[in-house]
Amino acid sequence: MIHSMGLSGSFCRTIPSIALRISIRIAAIIVIALAFSASVLAQDSQTPEALPGQIMGTVLDVNGDAVPGATVTLAGPQPSDHRTATTNENGFFKFDGVTPGVSYQVAVGAQGFADWTSAVTLNSGEVKMFSSVQLDLAAQETTVRVSADTTEIATEQMKLEETQRVFGFIPNFYISYEGDNFVPLTAGVKFKLALRVSRDPVTIAGVGFVAAIRQANRYPDYGEGMKGYAERFGATAGPAFTDIMIGGAILPSVLHQDPRYFYQGTGTTGSRLRHAILGPFICKGDNGRWQPNYSSVGGDLAAAGISNLYFPKQNRGAGFVFSTFGIGTAERIISTVGQEFVLSKFTHRGTRVD
């Protein structure tokens, strides 16, 4: 009986001890869960760092001549947001490092002209280029036009397009997402863009990959080993470089044509498909009008002819030239259709300029 009571007393003391340990564990779990939730919420509340933007433009008179020495003022809500600039000999002005999300007033003034003002608020990393903005002359009551200098804008657009890469690494420089905001490229910009594509590491790697496929298929009829691969690499790189330079720089400069594909992005599926299929055959001229794409066709024909010279004698011939030209044209059609419907979704690109 005494033994039984001793067990009962020990058991009664054990129950509160177990309950206490369980309560402590539950409390610890709750504390850890609350701490983890607070950490997650803190991480979720963090926002990406905003990138500074740019504001630029050019002051022109009614005859299209530059107005140098004009004073351009950029004013924000804080005294630190107040800056001024003077237009250069081309009438061009630019403000770098503009804080996004802040409401600014841009004012342009020059002797003999009435002041012009405009409100602007930039998004993160946005480049704002003023165009087709008019202000009255103070005395003659005529107008001057403030617009972005075409050379400066073309250069800035090229810089933005050089950031365009599919999946973040494949160059996609020859496509414009600017819509109706068309600015013709100068000959110098066309050559810079073509050279930029030609020397890009991904372009060179692509040439090496095609040469490796040809090596595996023993085509064209070169030897085996590294010597054969080097010959196939040269036979692939030469026409590719020719196509880029002739079709993307030389002919567009001589014929005053734009080598880029202009993304439509809106309208019916049929109209977008028609626009994409006609891309290799119709292009914009430097005057902004659509015209036959002699540059693209000429570049493909030149590349096919160069390939015929590079290949061994037994692989040459007129049939080879025209089949290569046909394959190149088909690849361009597939590329423009892909640009219109697929690649735009995976292309990292610069801020659209209005």
List the Cα angle 83/84/85 in 5-degree steps: 135
User: Model confidence over 223-259: pLDDT tens digits?
Assistant: 899 999 999 999 999 999 999 999 999 999 999 999 9
User: Model confidence over 150-171: pLDDT tens digits?
Assistant: 677 778 878 888 889 999 899 9
Chain mean position to CA 297: 25
pTM assigned to the model: 0.57
* Residue whose C-alpha is closest to residue 243's, from 295, 172, 188: 295
Two structure tokens written together for 334: 């597939």
48 contacts: CB under 8 Å, gap ≥ 6: 124
Check: CB of residue 104 under 8 Å from CB of residue 83.
Answer: no
Sign of CA dihedral 138, 139, 142, 147: negative
Please report the pLDDT score of residue 80 as a whole number.
81
User: Model confidence over 166-198: pLDDT tens digits?
Assistant: 998 999 999 988 766 788 899 999 999 999 999
Q: If the chain, 354 residues long, is cut into consecutive pieces of 10 residues, what is the mean pLDDT of each piece?
A: 45 50 57 51 56 85 77 88 88 88 88 82 87 59 52 79 91 84 87 94 95 93 93 92 94 96 93 95 93 95 89 89 92 95 85 45
